[in-house]
């Protein structure tokens, strides 16, 4: 049984970002054509009055909340007020107005940074709020936790069909390659490509290289989002047995991890850079290890399909195409 229909009015908040763009492509590939899309000029998601008016007029049946202010360690560390304020506003404006205007289903996309810094690995959904967060991105994490709690509270009190997905570290086509605001994988792609083009003898990377991370190709998250919208609902037994007892959150990842040092070496090889890799230990590492327990998603019937090696090859190819077409996000 599918819990959404091909002709449902589906609003993708943030459809121009990496995640939203991928979800849009996947929805279209699955035959969903009635997509409601806006840009910042037409709809400022930070402005509740405008969001309220838009929902009253358009009344989307399905809402996918992929819009967010995101960034790497440096951006989160330097601009915590921006991260918490903007994300709280975006989430509250969309979730509340979706609920008030009769949206049938809402999918909230969170982040694995919601889990405690030193939580037992792999990270299970029930570890939420069981310990201190990683300080370098705690403002962003708190905003995401608030979104989770808003969804679960509306579900508990009013029966609002809202589910929260917690993806691991994402990468892929349309990523942000800004020197200081990007995440680790796209930052490394840009760094090694630049070093190769400039014939640099060495590349200096942030931190020690020892932290371990899990990475998910963004197209796999898009497929997971559609899978959950179609197959998982508060009205079915699988949700009640597997998801509801954990604030309605579901981890989405690969179940595999790699050290940042190994990741740098893999990207360096795929780029074709032959110089030396050095590490700046004066820079923070962030959480020492972050691997999601994906057993709940696996039990529901979903698994990622793209290996890290294949995903990196595809991402580098997209990066080169974006550089050549001057459409890259820098």
Name the residues annotated as catalytic: 140
The partner residues of 11 in beta bridges, in order of sequence, read 36, 63
Q: How many CB atoms lie within 10 A of CB 145?
A: 22
- Are the C-beta atoms of 224 and 235 separated by less than 8 Å? no
Distance CA 27, CA 168 (A): 21
Distance CA 212, CA 96 (A): 36
The partner residues of 164 in beta bridges, in order of sequence, read 108, 249
Q: Comparing C-alpha atoms, which of 150, 162, 166, 170 is closest to residue 17?
A: 170
The partner residues of 215 in beta bridges, in order of sequence, read 169
Number of separate helices (H) and strands (E) present in the chain: 11, 13
Distance CA 143, CA 148 (A): 9
Q: Comparing C-alpha atoms, which of 262, 261, 259, 246 is closest to residue 299?
A: 246
Q: What angle do CA 146, 148, 153 make, to 5 degrees?
A: 90
């Amino acid at each position: 049984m599918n819990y959404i229909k091909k002709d449902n009015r589906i609003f993708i908040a943030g459809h121009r970002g990496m995640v939203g763009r991928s979800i849009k492509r996947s929805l279209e590939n699955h035959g969903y054509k009635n997509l409601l899309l806006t840009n910042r000029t037409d709809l400022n998601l930070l402005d509740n009055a405008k969001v309220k008016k838009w929902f009253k007029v358009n009344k989307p049946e399905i809402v996918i909340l992929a819009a967010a202010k995101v960034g790497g360690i440096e951006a989160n560390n330097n601009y915590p007020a921006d991260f918490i304020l903007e994300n709280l506003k975006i989430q509250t404006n969309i979730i509340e107005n979706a609920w008030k205007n009769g949206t049938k289903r809402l999918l909230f996309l969170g982040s694995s940074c919601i889990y405690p810094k030193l939580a037992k690995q792999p990270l299970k959904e029930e570890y939420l709020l069981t310990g201190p967060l990683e300080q370098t991105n705690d403002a962003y994490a708190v905003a995401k936790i608030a979104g989770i709690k808003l969804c679960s509270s509306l579900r508990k009190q009013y029966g609002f069909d809202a589910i929260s997905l917690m993806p691991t570290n994402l990468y892929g086509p349309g990523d942000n390659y800004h020197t200081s605001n990007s995440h680790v994988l796209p930052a490394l792609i840009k760094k090694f490509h630049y070093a190769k083009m400039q014939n640099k003898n060495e590349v200096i990377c942030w931190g020690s290289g020892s932290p371990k991370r899990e990475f998910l190709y963004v197209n796999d998250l898009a497929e997971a989002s559609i899978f959950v919208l179609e197959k998982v609902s508060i009205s079915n037994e699988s949700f009640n047995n597997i998801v509801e007892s954990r604030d309605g959150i579901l981890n989405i990842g690969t179940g595999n991890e790699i050290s940042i040092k190994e990741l740098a070496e893999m990207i360096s090889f795929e780029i074709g850079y032959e110089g030396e890799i050095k590490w700046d230990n004066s820079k923070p590492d962030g959480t020492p290890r972050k691997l999601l327990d994906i057993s709940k998603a696996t039990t529901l019937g979903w698994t990622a399909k793209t290996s890290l090696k294949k995903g990196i090859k595809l991402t580098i190819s997209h990066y080169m195409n974006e550089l050549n077409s001057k459409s890259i996000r820098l």
